[in-house]
Structure 1
Amino acid sequence: MNRVRESGYARKLRMWLEITTNNLEGRACFSSLKFYEVVKKYLDKLLNEDLDEASLQLINTSVHGVNQAMQVAANMTVLERACDFFFCHVAKLSGVPLRMVERSRKQFPLRKARDVVEGMLSRLLKVKVDGFMTLVENVNWMTD
């Protein structure tokens, strides 16, 4: 009688262990997705609010020439790629497939700063071209 009872307990224990193991594995997969979503939320907040505002402040206060605007625009492109690599690294660490973290140019976190620097570069280039056109108008093209 004791052996029957012990084998019943052993069977129940094995079933409980299997169910618990399956539940833990499922939770581990779910928790990695949840972990990534939490990290992504804070990264988006950091990049969209803090870094974007700091970039805007830097652009508005210290970019005064075409050379500086071109350098900032180039740096924004490099920063865009760095953000993509960073998101891929976070996804890899949290076990999320890379296809879930691919972003388009529209989703670039520093959109406002990028748009401001591109607009500033456009305005500065127009001023330069207008200056050259004014110089051309002042040249006496008629021979004496």
Structure 2
Amino acid sequence: MLDKPLLLISSCLCGVFCRYDGNHNLINNLQALECRYKLILVCPEELGGLSTPRQPAERKGNTVVTCTGEDVTDAFRYGAQQTLDIALAHRCKMALLKAKSPSCGKGQIYDGSFSKRLINGDGMATELLREHQIEVYTEEDIEDLLV
């Protein structure tokens, strides 16, 4: 039997309580993914040294700030680098990350105003993974991973 392909995945999507508010984003298709892939769990924000729970943060250009105005860009950059290092160490070619997140969002992220307004863009970890030719999906396009 061939080994399953590896899939880097946001820990919160697997039910790990690592969201900024201490909750998770467990997806319904987790069992189907586990049948098809070997899952490599990551939380870029925790890997960056941020605690759970933590203040909500949004990306504003090349910086990430919390709702109280604290600049947490360095933690997000470090977490993105740690995520990339894990992906490369495991030779992951694909990642399933949390949509709209300042770390993991793909295609659309919150605009930095904390008004739930979306803009075109990627989270810091997604941006770095894509620069290294790792294909990124979100839970919004999970079906593409299950065909």
Same fold by TM-score, threshold 0.5 exceeded?
no
TM-score normalized by structure 1? 0.31
Bigger radius of gyration, 1 or 2?
1
Structure (1 or 2) with the greater helix fraction: 1
**Structure having the larger proportion of residues in strand:** 2
Does 1 or 2 have the higher relative contact order (CA < 8 Å, sep 6+)? 1
